[in-house]
Amino acid sequence: MTSAMRYSPPAVVLHWLVAVLIFVAFPLGLYMADLPLSPEKLKLFSYHKWVGVTVFMLAGLRVVWRLTHTPPPLPASVAGWQRRASAVVHGLLYLLILVIPISGWLMSSAKGVQTVWFGVLPLPDLIGKDKALGHLLEEVHETLNYTLLALVVLHVAGALQHHFVERQPFLQRMGWSKT
């Protein structure tokens, strides 16, 4: 595969860093949500927020990189409807990896719990304390995360289908496999 068909090293690194962090944050969020209030739960919430803030910052870098660097073209054999579906899914993935951390930050602000990145850098509350709004934002945060999960499943399934069924080098494009 030529280098023109592959994503650039910074794009690959940002992709996999964000993916790994999301794969940590999502199950952590599911696990901690139903725990009874305890020091352990508060510690896990802090970790979850740290990951979320980090995802937001890396996602911002990804968006800047993507806007300033043209991604490699899809193989000519990819059908038009698949190209359109890919563009929609990728656009929604980018949107959600930016919006989900903001929704969590808004939720924390509304619930009156400041976000402190890595326990060192206190971030300003985005809105005032409002219990009802906090609960609404919790539902929004959860719904957005399940939407992200569905899109990630589509994204991974599409890449695997193209790579293994259609024998197109899709995993190589993102630096996964050389074969």
Contacts of 149 (CB under 8 A, 6+ apart): 26
Residue written as token pair 């490699």: 72
CA distance 176 to 153: 17
Express as a percent the part of the chain with pLDDT over 70. Answer: 96
Q: Report if residue 67 sits inside a domain.
A: yes
pLDDT, residue 175, reads: 81
Q: Report if residue 54 sits inside a domain.
A: yes
Residues 21 and 51: beta-carbon distance below 8 Å: yes
Residue 177 confidence (pLDDT) above 80: no
Mind listing the pLDDT tens digit for each residue in 27-65? 999 999 999 999 999 999 999 999 999 999 999 999 999
CA distance 92 to 152: 10
Nearest alpha carbon to residue 22 among 55, 46, 65 = 55
pLDDT, residue 176, reads: 59
Identify the DSSP state of 103: H
Residues 94 and 155: beta-carbon distance below 8 Å: no
Nearest alpha carbon to residue 109 among 131, 132, 128, 122 = 128
Containing structural domain, residue 99: 3-173
Q: Report if residue 99 sits inside a domain.
A: yes
pLDDT, residue 171, reads: 81
Q: Report if residue 179 sits inside a domain.
A: no
- What is the CATH classification number for the domain harbouring 32? 1.20.950
Q: Report if residue 69 sits inside a domain.
A: yes
Residue 83 confidence (pLDDT) above 80: yes
pLDDT, residue 149, reads: 98
How many CB atoms lie under 10 A from the CB of residue 59? 24
Q: Report if residue 178 sits inside a domain.
A: no
Identify the DSSP state of 74: P
Mind listing the pLDDT tens digit for each residue in 100-142? 999 999 999 999 999 999 999 999 999 999 999 999 999 999 9
pLDDT, residue 172, reads: 83
- Residue 34 tokens read as 């139903």
CA distance 6 to 70: 11
What's the rounded mean pLDDT across residues 147-163?
94
Q: Report if residue 12 sits inside a domain.
A: yes
User: CA 45, 50, 52 angle in degrees (round to 5)?
Assistant: 90
pLDDT, residue 20, reads: 97
Q: Report if residue 71 sits inside a domain.
A: yes
Overall domain count for the chain:
1
What's the rounded mean pLDDT across residues 158-171?
86
CA distance 160 to 134: 39
